[in-house]
């Protein structure tokens, strides 16, 4: 995946920072200050011919160096990622006047990991995953509610298994950019680029 706004490799700084540790620190601060859903992130995907699409999803954790979320594989984002396994993420924490932008390659989580996360969801959310044909046309809300009631009856008194069309994705970052608001739009932008040896190069971008 290309570097987006970074057409050239940024000039390296003297002091190196682990961008994943920095992300964790910023997220912890956001959890203390954001009024709602500090884990919310915009997920941008593109289909096989490059048509883009973006929507909000929730970060469900970091798996090593990857950012993990879950969805219906038959949704529009699931179809995009099957055709073009690259994505961009954006966290915007208005209370802190900060953003984190991420670009990377996308992998599937293991079935065991998806099963474990699905089992941790509320029962209503589990039933909703079975009832919803996500992203497909819906003639009326009543049809969806009726499907949900059918799922309640079908699984009554039994554990709700993970649907075969529902799973998780790991966004393995190639680029992380940390944006901080400064007066007069003289913002501070730090960018980290993944290197082949597993290290990171660090630099600055003009605001």
Contact 93, 38 (CB under 8 A): yes
- Per-residue tokens: 118: 């699905």
User: ∠ at Cα 53 (51, 54), nearest 5°?
Assistant: 155
Q: What are 176's two structure tokens?
A: 């992380």
* Selected catalytic residue, list 62, 108, 123, 185: 185
185 is catalytic: yes
Q: How far apart are CA 105 and CA 146, in angstroms?
A: 38
| Structure-token pair, residue 98 | 């900060």
Pair 187, 205: CB distance under 8 Å: no
Altogether, the residues listed in the chain come to a count of 207
CA distance 130 to 185: 47
SS3 (DSSP) at 175: strand
User: Taking the CA of residue 189 as centre, how many other CA atoms within 13 Å lie in the half-sphere pointing to its CB?
Assistant: 16
Catalytic residue positions, numbered: 185
């Amino acid at each position: 995946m290309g570097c987006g706004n970074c057409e050239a490799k940024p000039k390296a700084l003297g002091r190196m920072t682990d961008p994943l540790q920095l992300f964790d620190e910023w997220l912890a601060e956001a959890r203390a200050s954001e009024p709602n859903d500090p884990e919310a992130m915009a997920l941008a995907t593109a289909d096989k011919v490059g048509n883009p699409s973006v929507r909000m999803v929730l970060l469900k954790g970091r798996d090593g160096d990857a950012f993990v979320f879950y969805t219906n594989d038959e949704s529009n984002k699931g179809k995009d990622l099957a055709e073009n396994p690259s994505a961009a993420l954006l966290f915007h924490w208005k209370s802190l006047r900060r953003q984190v932008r991420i670009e990377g390659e996308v992998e599937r989580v293991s079935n065991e990991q998806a099963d474990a996360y699905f089992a941790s969801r509320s029962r209503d959310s589990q039933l909703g995953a079975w009832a919803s044909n996500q992203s497909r046309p819906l003639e009326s809300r009543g049809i969806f509610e009726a499907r949900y009631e059918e799922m309640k009856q079908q699984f009554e008194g039994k554990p709700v298994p993970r649907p075969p069309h529902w799973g998780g994705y790991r966004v393995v970052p190639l680029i992380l950019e940390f944006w901080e608001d400064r007066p007069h739009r003289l913002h501070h932008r730090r960018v980290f680029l993944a290197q082949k040896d597993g290290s990171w190069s660090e630099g600055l971008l003009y605001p």
